[in-house]
Amino acid sequence: MSRTIKITGMAEIMYQRMEESWQTSPRVTYSMSAETGAADTFIKGFNEAHAHENLKMNYNHILMKACALASKKYELFNSSIESGEIVVHDEINIGLAVATEKGLLVPNVKKVDQRGFEELCEEVSRIIGGARAMGLSYDDICGGTFTITNLGMYGIERFTPIINQPEVAILGVSRIYEKLVMEGGEILQKRYMPLDLVADHRIIDGALAASYLNEVKGFLEAPERLMD
């Protein structure tokens, strides 16, 4: 027998925002993969160095920092469209989609470009824990300027996320895969992370999106640059 499920609470908010985004933004998806060897080494070194502090880095921290610094160079990715005008924000606040028992939440970390990795790891741990415990503040949820959603841990190979209004772009991250590549006459096995950037085509064209995504890819493949 059929039954009706009333859409309320967080599900209702998500329903409304996704419907608004779908109707508002003419979106285009740009796909690229980044080799993860350098990031793997960087993460391992950081975690070993900070084991006594109970700090643990993962790909999300590198992605957040990479997107923040890329947004400093390409400022339209840190903007929104309001009343027919482009508003470029003075803070780079990166949101991270978090699945909870009551639905999807997107808390954000403020001023990611200005934070070191130690501080970033602590803050990401705090907002994820707060999201799952339903203990976030209004400030934790509001003010995001760019969103990352990572479904790699669920085995997703590629997907096209919906832009989190009023932002103008979102980065989807999928499961890391391995493939054989030829380098210097040798066959090597390497790991790659799929990146799918969805951008609002009203203000972000293909060339700009490609430049931004290449910048993020460059940081992932040389994460020491994120320490500059």
Specify the CATH number for the domain of residue 74.
3.30.559.10
Angle at 219 between CA 144 and CA 67, to 5 degrees: 10
| Total domains present in the chain | 1
Q: Which domain, by its residues, includes 142?
A: 9-227
Tell me whether residue 52 is one of the annotated catalytic residues: no
Mean per-residue pLDDT of the chain? 93
- Domain-located, residue 4: no
Q: Catalytic pick from 40, 50, 89, 201?
A: 201
Task: Give 77-113 pLDDT, tens digit per residue.
Answer: 999 998 889 999 999 999 999 998 888 899 999 999 9
- Lowest-confidence pick of 100-104, 151-155, 174-178, 224-228: 100-104
**Can you give the pTM of this predicted structure?**
0.91
- Domain-located, residue 1: no
- The set of residues, in sequence order, having a beta carbon less than 8 Å from that of 109 and lying 6+ positions away, is 64, 93, 94, 96, 115, 120, 123, 124, 127
- Domain-located, residue 153: yes
> pLDDT at position 169, please?
97
% residues pLDDT > 70 (the chain) = 95
- Domain-located, residue 17: yes
Query: 104-132 burial, b if ≥16 CB within 10 A, otherwise e?
Result: bbbbbbbebbebebeebbebbeebbebbe
Residue 14 pLDDT more than 70?
no
Tell me whether residue 205 is one of the annotated catalytic residues: yes
- Domain-located, residue 198: yes
> pLDDT at position 3, please?
78
The top-scoring range by mean pLDDT among 20-29, 97-106, 153-162 is 153-162
- Domain-located, residue 2: no
Q: Which 3-state string (H, E, C) describes the chain?
A: CCCCCCCCHHHHHHHHHHHHHHHHCCEEEEEEEEECHHHHHHHHHHHHHCHHHCCCCCHHHHHHHHHHHHHHHCHHHHEEEECCEEEECCCCCEEECEEECCEEECCEECCHHHCCHHHHHHHHHHHHHHHHCCCCCHHHHCCCCEEEEECHHHCCCCCCCCCCCCECEEEEECCCEEEEEEECCEEEEEEEEEEEEEEECCCCCHHHHHHHHHHHHHHHHCHHHHHC
Euclidean distance between CA atoms 50 and 85, whole angstroms: 44
Q: Catalytic pick from 40, 200, 205, 228?
A: 205
- Domain-located, residue 103: yes
- Domain-located, residue 177: yes
Residue 24 pLDDT more than 80?
no
> pLDDT at position 15, please?
65
> pLDDT at position 5, please?
74
